[in-house]
Chain A
């Protein structure tokens, strides 16, 4: 798959920061069963660009983040940072890797330690990763970090405990904590999905600002493809551990090529979309209890275009355009149905 000649739109933003090449992660379930959580996933992150990894729960998107963060070791495949293959076996190289690659977690209520103050959460990474010597240097750095995430005046927040902060403020502290290591790569795993609707956008805007200011290579992991449209440069759609489609955010969401992406886009609640199909009680194809198929294309049990070939052979990513690819044997049929669905949708609107 690595020889596939599809360029990433994110490459236009900056230099290559991180590269995942044919990553696989298997989990043994016992009784000889193996769960292929991540299958042959390749992509690149570039400085100053946002790549979104979109998929439903269980699609393997968080496992990819864990692999990149060094929390899990890939079954096969390599991760390169600044062109060098990553080896995390020694403690020193792990520490060095961690100061380059940081992660922000979904739940700001669980990711901060309730018995420690904001200052403690930021002091430690500053000391560990930046080797700041004097107490004054550390304090100045911590205050600067808090101002970067708009927690101002910083002195007001330094002594606070997590329970004294709102959800949005806690997530700001976890952004600051990730930045304390001065990373080049930031992995954000559903960073706003636990927050209230009215403050999500503000947090995404902040993340975007930080990306610009620190020239971060950002991996934005989400189940919300609509936010990826607005926030990301490139979107990767995952299904059952595989990337089934990739391309520029606007293009991919407006003209999804893969049947799964089409289903995802059609399912997202959106008043501009229909209002009609829900009230009419229209239903998609029934989701099988088993989920992904063990052989062939993992989406084939749910796919309206599936035939014998799909059930036997798993398609690799096929080139759609210079910057887009999709893993499907029936891209032509899917493209035809997309325009069909679009017209049908318009007609049924009242």
Chain B
């Protein structure tokens, strides 16, 4: 963690312009990805995790507008640190795929159904790397071999492959140009657990072998606790807590993180009391004063409406980089069991309508 991060996102904000009001999808987020690291970004749907990752690569279209921040990329092949948000279009084209690659969610839809696997990867290679035909063909074979797809399946069309195989093809394509950073957006969500585990193990193995860094986006915190080195917890467009996976699991500071940890039933170990989190996420069309988690939080006080959501260090943590947005609750507060908010008995889900 002493070296400078490969990807450094600072004060990054994105809004979706709608008639009437802006939706604050991502608000002043700071996140760093170091070489060889797996950073997990976890949040519920609508928390802004995908917007953050795509925004950092400038892959968003109107009505999304990046309103502040910088995204500094420091690759081994890059001469000097560059801000992706201020790059010229042709530089950006060279950066994508070669330096930063993305594995999109639902491989079923991301592959072109009328092209076979080989031609599809060839297309990507042609577009981003200049190499002779034979060399490109060899590259395709070696890439597919890398992710465990037999050479016999080279000419298969996407519908002839299982979901797991299609996701492997997507990973192979992402790795075609030997990128430094791979962003994976829910790469295994649609797959069965057994296949999911195989693919995750393969991703880790490839990462070790090829030395790239991973920003792994998912809604499944239990998966990240096993997979990631560091975890960033996102809620309503803001980071709630960042820390080493072990710290997040055993000494979570933020009430939302605690709630998430008690939201999934565990298969191993003793049966825990499960609480879930009452209520629903806030409507981001409205301006939020203070902490967005307040209506669902069991520790909330009057002071929370005025709290500054900047991440502050968790002083007692074993991880010096462990940081939380909640200035009131620390890991030693209570015994880590989430509290239900007052009046949870007659709770209601308040809608935007």
A joins B in a complex? yes
Please measure, in the bound complex, the distance between the C-alpha atom of A287 and the C-alpha atom of B195, giving whole angstroms.
8
Q: Give chain A residues whose Cβ lies under 8 Å from the Cβ of B265.
A: 201, 224, 226-227, 229-231
CB distance from B154 to the nearest CB of A (A): 14
Residue among A150, A227, A271, A283 with most chain B CB within 10 A = A271
The number of residues on chain A lying at the interface, defined by a beta carbon within 8 Å of a beta carbon of chain B, is 53
Please measure, in the bound complex, the distance between the C-alpha atom of A205 and the C-alpha atom of B264, giving whole angstroms.
13
Q: Give chain A residues whose Cβ lies under 8 Å from the Cβ of B349.
A: 166, 168-169
Q: Are B353 and A267 in contact (CB under 8 A)?
A: no
Known: A168-B280, A168-B349, A287-B164. A279 touches B227 (CB 8 A): yes
Tell me the residues in window 273-321 of chain A with beta carbons closer than 8 Å to chain B beta carbons: 273-275, 277-284, 286-287, 289, 291
Q: Are B222 and A264 in contact (CB under 8 A)?
A: no
> B205 an interface residue at 8 Å Cβ cutoff?
yes
> A327 an interface residue at 8 Å Cβ cutoff?
no
- 1/0 contact trace for A212-230 toward B, CB 8 Å? 0000000000011111011
Q: Are A226 and B266 in contact (CB under 8 A)?
A: yes
Please measure, in the bound complex, the distance between the C-alpha atom of A272 and the C-alpha atom of B205, giving whole angstroms.
22
Q: Give chain B residues whose Cβ lies under 8 Å from the Cβ of A267.
A: 193-194, 196-197
Q: Are B276 and A205 in contact (CB under 8 A)?
A: yes
- 1/0 contact trace for A22-66 toward B, CB 8 Å? 000000000000000000000000000000000011000000000
Please measure, in the bound complex, the distance between the C-alpha atom of A280 and the C-alpha atom of B202, giving whole angstroms.
10
Please measure, in the bound complex, the distance between the C-alpha atom of A104 and the C-alpha atom of B273, giving whole angstroms.
26
Q: Give chain A residues whose Cβ lies under 8 Å from the Cβ of B275.
A: 201
Please measure, in the bound complex, the distance between the C-alpha atom of A160 and the C-alpha atom of B245, giving whole angstroms.
42
Tell me the residues in window 325-353 of chain B with beta carbons closer than 8 Å to chain A beta carbons: 346-349, 351, 353
Q: Are A198 and B193 in contact (CB under 8 A)?
A: no
Please measure, in the bound complex, the distance between the C-alpha atom of A284 and the C-alpha atom of B259, giving whole angstroms.
32
Q: Give chain B residues whose Cβ lies under 8 Å from the Cβ of A280.
A: 204
Please measure, in the bound complex, the distance between the C-alpha atom of A278 and the C-alpha atom of B275, giving whole angstroms.
27
Q: Give chain A residues whose Cβ lies under 8 Å from the Cβ of B220.
A: 197, 269
> A164 an interface residue at 8 Å Cβ cutoff?
yes
> A128 an interface residue at 8 Å Cβ cutoff?
no
Please measure, in the bound complex, the distance between the C-alpha atom of A238 and the C-alpha atom of B198, giving whole angstroms.
20
Please measure, in the bound complex, the distance between the C-alpha atom of A158 and the C-alpha atom of B253, giving whole angstroms.
40
Partner of A198, one of B208, B276, B348: B276
Please measure, in the bound complex, the distance between the C-alpha atom of A169 and the C-alpha atom of B280, giving whole angstroms.
10
> A132 an interface residue at 8 Å Cβ cutoff?
no
Tell me the residues in window 200-256 of chain A with beta carbons closer than 8 Å to chain B beta carbons: 200-202, 205, 223-227, 229-231, 250, 253
Tell me the residues in window 199-244 of chain B with beta carbons closer than 8 Å to chain A beta carbons: 200-202, 204-205, 208, 219-223, 225-227
Partner of A272, one of B208, B266, B348: B266
Tell me the residues in window 126-146 of chain A with beta carbons closer than 8 Å to chain B beta carbons: none
> A270 an interface residue at 8 Å Cβ cutoff?
yes
Q: Are B264 and A56 in contact (CB under 8 A)?
A: no
Known: A197-B260, A278-B227. A202 touches B276 (CB 8 A): yes
Closest 5 CB pairs of A and B: A201-B276, A271-B225, A281-B205, A56-B192, A269-B223
Apart from A269-B193, A273-B269, list 11 A-B contacts with CB within 8 A: A152-B346, A201-B276, A231-B265, A273-B267, A278-B200, A278-B204, A279-B226, A280-B204, A281-B202, A281-B208, A289-B165
